[in-house]
Amino acid sequence: MIDPQLLRDNPELLKDSARRRGEDEHVIDELLAVDQRKRAAQTHYDELRAQQKILSKQIGPLQGRSRKDPTNEDVRAQLDELMLTAGVLAEQVKAADAQTGSLTSALKALWLQVSNVVDPRSPVGGEEDFVVVSTHGTPRDFTTEGFTPRDHLELGGLLGAIDVERAAKVSGSRFFYLTGIGALLELALLNMAIAQATRYGFIPVVPPVLVNSPAMEGTGFLGQAAENVYRLDADDAYLVGTAEVPLAAMHADEILDAEALPMRYVGWSTCFRREAGSHGKDTRGIIRVHQFDKVEMFVFTTPDEADAEHKRLLAWEQEFMDALEIPYRVIDVATGDLGSSAARKFDIEAWIPTQGTYREVTSTSNTTQFQARRLGIRTRKDGAPAPIATLNGTLCAMPRMIVAILENHQQVDGSIYVPEALRGYLGQDVLAVRP
């Protein structure tokens, strides 16, 4: 949600943002109109209600007098008249209440359709209109090395690390088993990621992955993204697509101590994604799957600090990539591909040799006040409640990081070079092919 004051003061800003995202700007006009009607209705209700309170307060004492002196016709008459007026007023109050009630829900429904205001620096356009911020490391030249690289699935087979065929038997397409060294690799990455994050003061969290609708809605995943969310109908619950959801919602409806900011959490969770609308995309291997584990950084900070924190999150993501010695580039994601919550987003794309291109492995978003407002998370500034900003960033999405490691660090015999930083966590310096 966006500051409602911004809507009234500067609706053009919201419209401009919607245009940049390629979203319907008409909603803003509608919002403006309903907002005004709602406020008028509210005022009307308030006035009626104030009158009602005044009348109601007179009834009590009058009833007292009437009881003490039942023969007094005058008091009796006054009371009857008062009750009559109050009765009429009560009807009006009820009607006015219903009116504001329906306008309030209409307003809320409209607000839920509005995405965050984009950062003016975000490149305008669709998915392909990103801007490359920087490139790091050099992709290997397998031609010079004299062999054709195997893709991660083939390597996973040789290593006994990945099994998608049996996963298909058990769960369907887009599922996988990590077995043997594959499972160990995930655990090593997990420990390495958590170690890095805690070194920088992040509080490690293992969150719930089954959440209720306020949590899902508050983080902005029930809008356009809803089709990618698993919903458990019988329980009105949702499986999260990222730890961002339970981490953000953890402090819902709280006023956070300003002294404690920034509050940095690193969550480890399983993530579930329906991948609706991506039929035929990345059907091979474990690049796009319905279920995977991920280590996610999440920060609550002041709006002033959000931009600087965003850069820090990116730097921490890069540090992790650097440590794994994977060539990558950083892109500034275009407005049409931000998702409803983010004002600005950087993706890190790892080089994937067998695809001859860079593919997203991690991502960091500045969601400014958008999620915090929806979730009712605030801080206190000069004694008064003040808005807060939230940010998130992937430290390590397991399947894609495993893909990047296997493919980039493969050797001619199918074994895998283990980057030095990972060795301590894995306990070996090469992943050997199964005999």
Partner RNA sequence: GGAGGGAUGGCCGAGCGGCCGAAGGCGACGGUCUUGAAAACCGUUGAGGCGGUACCCCCGUCUCCGUGGGUUCAAAUCCCACUCCCUCCGCCA
Contact yes or no for 429/411 (Cβ under 8 A): no
Say which residues have a Cβ less than 8 Å from residue 373's Cβ, sequence separation at least 6: 1, 2, 3, 387
Q: Which is nearer to RNA, 145 or 253 (CB)?
A: 253
CA angle, 210 then 211 then 214, to 5°: 165
Please give the helix or strand (H or E) that residue 382 lies within, else none.
none
Residue 39 beta carbon to RNA: minimum distance, rounded to whole angstroms? 5
Say what the alpha-carbon torsion angle 8, 373, 211, 399 is, to the nearest 10 degrees. Answer: 100
Q: Which residues neighbour 69 within 8 Å (Cβ) at sequence distance 6 or greater?
A: 75
Question: Which strands make up the sheet holding 389-397, listed edge to edge?
Answer: 131-136, 328-332, 344-352, 357-366, 389-397, 291-301, 263-272, 203-205
Taking the least distance from each CB to RNA, the nearer of 93 and 263 is 93
Among 86, 184, 225, 421, binds RNA (CB under 7 A): 86
Of 78, 110, 136, which Cα lies nearest the Cα of 318?
136
User: Closest distance between RNA and the C-beta of residue 25, in Å?
Assistant: 22
DSSP 30: H
Question: Which of 20, 150, 264, 273 is an active site residue?
Answer: 273
CB of 374 to RNA, least distance (A): 14
49 labelled catalytic? no
Angle at 117 between CA 115 and CA 121, to 5 degrees: 130
Q: How far apart are CA 406 and CA 152, in angstroms?
A: 6
Helix, strand, coil: what percent of the chain each, to 5? 50, 20, 30
Choosing from 13, 83, 124, 421, the residue that interacts with RNA (CB under 7 A) is 83
Smallest distance from the beta carbon of 203 to RNA, in angstroms? 20
- Using the rule CB under 7 A, is 57 a contact of RNA? yes
Which amino acid would we find at residue 8?
Answer: R
Instruction: Mark the segment that binds RNA (CB under 7 A) among 81-89, 116-124, 146-154, 268-276.
Output: 81-89
- The minimum distance between CB 64 and RNA, in angstroms, equals 8
Write down the residue that tokens 């500051």 correspond to.
3
Say whether 344 is catalytic. no
Instruction: Tell me whether residue 42 or residue 191 sits nearer to RNA (CB atom).
Output: 42
List the helix and strand counts (H, then E) for the chain: 14, 18
The least CB distance from residue 36 to RNA, in Å, is: 9
d(C-alpha 431, C-alpha 409), whole Å? 10
User: Binding RNA by CB under 7 A: which of 11, 19, 32, 63?
Assistant: 63
Structure token digits, residue 96? 């006015």
Q: Which of 1, 2, 18, 93 binds RNA (CB under 7 A)?
A: 93
Both tokens of residue 177?
Answer: 């088993």
Q: How far is the CB of 246 from RNA (least distance, A)?
A: 15
Among residues 274, 329, 360, 423, the one annotated as catalytic is 360
Active-site residue 378, yes or no? no
Quick one: which of 21, 310, 373, 378 contacts RNA (CB under 7 A)? 378
Binding track over 228-267 against RNA, x by CB under 7 A:
---------------------------x------------
Q: Considering the complex, state which of residue 90 and residue 261 has its C-beta at the smaller distance from RNA.
A: 90
The minimum distance between CB 413 and RNA, in angstroms, equals 42
Residues in the chain, total = 435
Among 6, 10, 26, 53, binds RNA (CB under 7 A): 53
Residue 385 touches RNA, criterion: CB under 7 A: yes
Q: Identify residues 22-51 at the interface with RNA (CB under 7 A).
A: 39, 42-43, 45-47, 49-50
The count of residues interacting with RNA (CB under 7 A) is: 28
Which of 128/384 has CB closer to RNA? 384
- Is 273 labeled as catalytic in the residue annotation? yes
Which position among 150, 363, 373, 378 bears the catalytic label?
363
Q: With contact defined as beta carbons under 8 Å apart, do 86 and 55 qualify?
A: yes
User: Does the footprint of RNA cover residue 67 (CB under 7 A)?
Assistant: no
> How far is Cα 190 from Cα 250, in angstroms, rounded to an integer?
22
Active site residue 269: no
Single-letter amino acid, residue 402: I
For 130, phi and psi rounded to 5 degrees? -65, 165
Which residues are designated catalytic? 273, 288, 360, 363, 400
Judged by the rule CB under 7 A, the positions of this chain that interact with RNA are 4, 39, 42-43, 45-47, 49-50, 52-53, 55-57, 59-60, 63, 83, 86-87, 89-90, 93, 101, 255, 378, 384-385
